[in-house]
Structures are given as C-alpha cells and as structure tokens.
Chain A
Amino acid sequence: KAGVTQTPRYLIKTRGQQVTLSCSPISGHRSVSWYQQTPGQGLQFLFEYFSETQRNKGNFPGRFSGRQFSNSRSEMNVSTLELGDSALYLCASSPSGYSNQPQHFGDGTRLSIL
C-alpha cells in the first residue's frame, strides 16, 4: 500500500510570492491534516479536511488555506509569502480522522523563502 505522497519535496520562493503544495493520502483514507514544522515552534496544526470540508483549523493567518478534492487529495496554499513561512510542511492522513485513528505522515515539502 502506497504511503502519503507529498509534492514537491523542495521549493524555493521569494517574499510576496504564493505557493501550492499537494498531498495524496493513503488509499482509502479520507481525512487529511496539514502541519508546519519549524525548529523554534515544533509541529503545529494548520487544518484538517474530510470529505472536501475543512473540519478543524489551527491558529494561522488567513494567508494559509487549503482544499480537498473528491478523491481525497488535498492542496495547501500560502499567499504573500514571508520569511517566517520557511518550514517543513507535513501532510498526514487517516481513514476518517476519528480520535482513535493514528495519522500517517508523508515525507513533507521543505519550503525556503528568500
């Protein structure tokens, strides 16, 4: 069974640009969550999608948005990039997102802002 696939693996952008990251969950998984990981803040929850609906959202500005498609694939968009957005962005999937279901992570997209 293929794992969670994130593309691209690496991105370099400049301040003010926007970026879109993609995540394909494990086959059969319908819940997709996004996290930002930085050395200073650790892993922080961005949002969770299930059946094309955002079910939960973390404390990030509106520049961070996402969506989920009918095949459960998800995209995350960051607009007006800032230097502080440099981070590892991780996507995790689970069957339905219930509390007793572990989340499995993809390899992440490392975003660098110049």
Chain B
Amino acid sequence: QKEVEQNSGPLSVPEGAIASLNCTYSDRGSQSFFWYRQYSGKSPELIMFIYSNGDKEDGRFTAQLNKASQYVSLLIRDSQPSDSATYLCAVRRPTGTASKLTFGTGTRLQVTL
C-alpha cells in the first residue's frame, strides 16, 4: 500500500464547475496535509494546508480533512482553464524533531471550455 494515494486522472471538468480531488494516506500519525499545484515543466506551488479535521477555505479552494477515514480532499469552485495542472497531495509525519513530506503521484486536472 502506498503511503499517499491519489487517482492519477485525468479528471476532466467543464469551466465553471466544481473540481473534487481526493487523497488517502496510510500513516495515522500524519499531522499536516498540503496541496500543491504543478504546471507542466514547473515546480510545485503551495495552494493550501490543513491540520485539523473539517474544512478550510481560501478563495475558490477548500481543503477537507477527515483523520478518522484518513483522507484529505481539495475542492476547486468555479474551475478555470488556468486551473489545469497536476495537483499533488503531501502528508507530513513528524519524526522526533525532523519531519518528512511524503507526496502522492498527483492528479491531473483538465478544465475544458
């Protein structure tokens, strides 16, 4: 079982719709969760992070965390063609004073006109 799992996609949504991206993780000790967006040929860009169960909203983005079910999701409202990218879920579990960020393989999102 992979530590962080994402559906590779592509997930295709029409412009203006809600895109829902999901991520599950295996380590119950994980404490913080991050969503990064990566355009082709570019480096990952931080979109959202969440530490507590529930929802966290930032503009058109909402991160949802359910630690009991070990999943985290990202909702993108009013999807735009510029949202077309690969979305990486990352999970961090502290190990003593250090911490290691583990990434999923990413979900490719395509927003169609």
Q: How many residues of B contact A (CB 8 A)?
A: 27
| Chain A residue, CB-CB nearest to B97 | A55
Instruction: Note all chain A residues with C-beta closer than 8 A to B31.
Output: 99-100
Neighbour of B32 across the interface among A43, A44, A99, A105, CB < 8 A: A99
Most buried by A among B45, B88, B98, B102: B98
Stretch at the interface among B12-20, B76-84, B103-111: B103-111
Could you pull out 22 A-B pairs where Cβ atoms are within 8 angstroms? A33-B101, A42-B104, A42-B106, A43-B103, A44-B103, A45-B100, A48-B98, A48-B99, A56-B95, A56-B99, A58-B100, A90-B44, A98-B94, A99-B32, A99-B92, A100-B32, A102-B49, A104-B46, A105-B45, A107-B42, A107-B43, A108-B43
Q: Give complex CA distance A88, B51 in Å.
A: 29
Instruction: Note all chain B residues with C-beta closer than 8 A to A103.
Output: 34, 46, 101
Q: Is A25 an interface residue (CB 8 A)?
A: no
For the complex formed, measure the closest distance between the CB of A64 and the CB atoms of chain B, giving whole angstroms.
Answer: 15
Q: Is B56 an interface residue (CB 8 A)?
A: no
| Chain B residue, CB-CB nearest to A92 | B101
For the complex formed, measure the closest distance between the CB of B44 and the CB atoms of chain A, giving whole angstroms.
Answer: 5
Chain A interface SS verdict (over half): strand
Q: Give complex CA distance A107, B93 in Å.
A: 25
The answer to whether B98 touches A55 (Cβ under 8 A) is yes
A residues 32-78 with Cβ under 8 Å of B?
33, 35, 42-45, 48, 50, 55-56, 58
6 nearest A-B pairs in the assembled complex, by CB-CB distance: A55-B98, A56-B98, A43-B103, A42-B105, A99-B94, A105-B43
